[in-house]
Amino acid sequence: MVRFLIVTLGCAKNEVDSDRMRALLLADGFEETADVANADVAIVNTCSFLASATEESVEATLSLAEERAEGVRDLPIVMCGCVPSRYGDALASELPEVAAFVRAEDEDGIVAVVRRVLGLGESDGEERPETLRTVEGTSAFVKISEGCDRFCTFCAIPYIRGRYHSRPADEIVSEVRSLMEGGVREVVLIGQDTGVWGCDLGEGETLASLLRRVAEAVGPYGGWVRVLYLQPEGMTDELIATIRDVPEVLPYIDIPIQHCSARVLKAMGRSGSPEELHALFARLRSEIPGMVLRTTGMAGFPGETDEEAEELYEFISEEAFDYCSVFAYSQEDGTAAARMADQVDEDVKLERTQHLIDLTEQLGFAATASHVGERVRVIVDGIEEGEDGPELIGHAWFQAPDSDGAVHIPYGEATVGDIVTVDLVDSFCYELVGELVGEGE
């Protein structure tokens, strides 16, 4: 049996791509291992969104090469994803330790690449699996699009992943049904810009129409639908009404604003103003009961003044987002912002970043604590050994998987994959403590 190891770096979209490659390899007769010592080939699915992510990807690859050198097994390494897509042919001379490079758009050909580096010859022609996913767990990310047309001046994604294209609705819904049949209870729709899904598919194809179809697929299983990475312009009347009126679609919206200053947003190649953003969030909270909001803020964009940094701080404080990720601006090769003359001093950038992090943690911890006393439904994701014995680990509807903390429940009559009713009794940071509610309570 020929065994492969997959190392995935970066965002949830890369996790989806790794799932696809895993399914293709398993269908061709390979076996997966989590132990490098038992692997016959290693696949590194890389991230290159930031320079630091590229460095991490290269370091992970070189670390595998070092383990190979110290061991007795030959271990060809295949580098996939964003780093090959961004740097292309230059990698072969820079990383001779790697046997093959596979761009993101070519990952469905992983079987042929792995067979070639292992000297196994061509595949025996087994049928391609109908659904290219092998998901373990109760939540699954589902990509609904690829690429991006926004060309924000700080972002390299359009150069890495290409122009925006929507995945067909029938294909998405088929995958969702298969995932639910396999035990998944929550699907999280993701893409670089989910709000414009369908813009290239024809009249009537919108994110709202897709959400309604996906909701029909998860409804019989009592499942949830969550959508991430919505730009402010994507919040149409139709979408707001769908999130409000379709029970399976969670009232949880992730809108990465990056900044609020009209001048900074324009320099970023984005639109908006503090007044427009305040109005949008006020509308969402007014029209969608229980609305939970996540956003992203960037500190230290070129030309950002002390006054504009404070403007972003005050905006986030006023909105009191439930969750907010904060990033320091990174000067990425090939982007327009990297060529701007007024780069912010690194120490100033980091100081502004930490200032925002301190604020968002204060707000986030308070938002988490506000749920104490509620009775909620929780998806059980796993069982872990706690200080007082085994405990169930799950997440409530207002917690996106792998992002927003978890609910810790003393071990009881439940198992992984169950959706249970829980009384929330305590909180710490972004974590919550709950107690199982018995039948009839």
Q: What is the mean pLDDT of each run of 10 residues along the chain (441 residues)?
A: 90 86 89 88 90 88 80 81 87 89 90 91 66 73 91 90 92 92 92 92 92 96 94 94 96 96 96 96 95 96 97 97 95 92 95 97 97 96 81 94 92 85 96 85 62
| 11 marked among binding-site residues | yes
pLDDT the model gives residue 167: 93
pLDDT at 359: 97
Give the full edge-to-edge strand order of the sheet including 41-46: 31-32, 3-8, 41-46, 77-81, 100-103
354 and 393 co-located in one domain: no
Residues 217 and 70 in one domain: no
Whether residue 180 is found in the same domain as residue 297: yes
Domain presence at residue 222:
yes
Has 324 been labeled as part of a binding site?
no
Q: What is the pTM of this model?
A: 0.86
Looking at 83, 118, 153, the residue that finishes a domain is 118
Residue 129 domain flag:
no
Residue 239 sits in the same domain as residue 340: yes
Q: Is 47 annotated as a binding residue?
A: yes
Measure CA of the first residue to CA of the last residue in the chain; give whole Å: 52
List Cα–Cα distances, 34 to 11, 38, 288, 402, in angstroms: 20, 8, 43, 20
Please indicate if the annotation marks 260 as binding a ligand: no
Q: Do 274 and 210 share a domain, yes or no?
A: yes
DSSP 148: -
The pLDDT, as a whole number, for residue 137 is: 78
Which candidate, 406, 411, 372, places its Cα nearest to that of 388?
411
**pLDDT of res. 69:** 65
CATH code of 426's domain:
2.40.50.140
Find out whether 231 and 251 touch, Cβ atoms under 8 Å. Answer: no
216 and 93 assigned to the same domain: no
Angle between helices 274-287 and 306-319 (to 10 degrees): 10
- Name the domain boundary from 353, 369, 385: 369
- Residue 347 placed within a domain: yes
Are 189 and 323 contained in the same domain? yes
In this structure, the answer to whether residues 219 and 325 fall within a common structural domain is yes
3-state class (DSSP) for residue 114: helix
Same domain membership, residue 292 and residue 390? no
What pLDDT does residue 156 have?
Answer: 87
| Shared-domain flag, residues 383 and 365 | no
Residue 380 included in any domain: yes
Which of 369, 386, 414 finishes a domain?
369
| Residue 197: inside a domain | yes
Strand locations in 136-270 (E) = 139-143, 145-146, 165-166, 186-190, 224-227, 249-254
Q: Which range of residues forms the domain containing residue 26?
A: 3-118
Domain total in the chain: 3
Q: CATH no. for residue 41?
A: 3.40.50.12160
Same domain flag for 342 and 384? no
